[in-house]
Amino acid sequence: MSESPQPVAFLNNTVGALLLGSIAAAVFYGVTSVQTYLYSRSNRDSNLFKGLVCLLLPVLVTV
* pLDDT attached to residue 2: 65
**The pLDDT value given to residue 22:** 93
pLDDT at position 5 over 80: no
57/36 Cα distance (integer angstroms)? 8
The pLDDT mean for the chain works out to: 82
The pLDDT of residue 53 is: 82
Domain boundaries, the chain: 33-63
User: pLDDT per residue over 32-51, tens digit each?
Assistant: 889 888 888 887 888 888 88
Query: Which of 33, 22, 23, 28 minimizes the C-alpha distance to 58?
Result: 33
Q: What are phi and psi of 25, to 5 degrees?
A: -65, -40
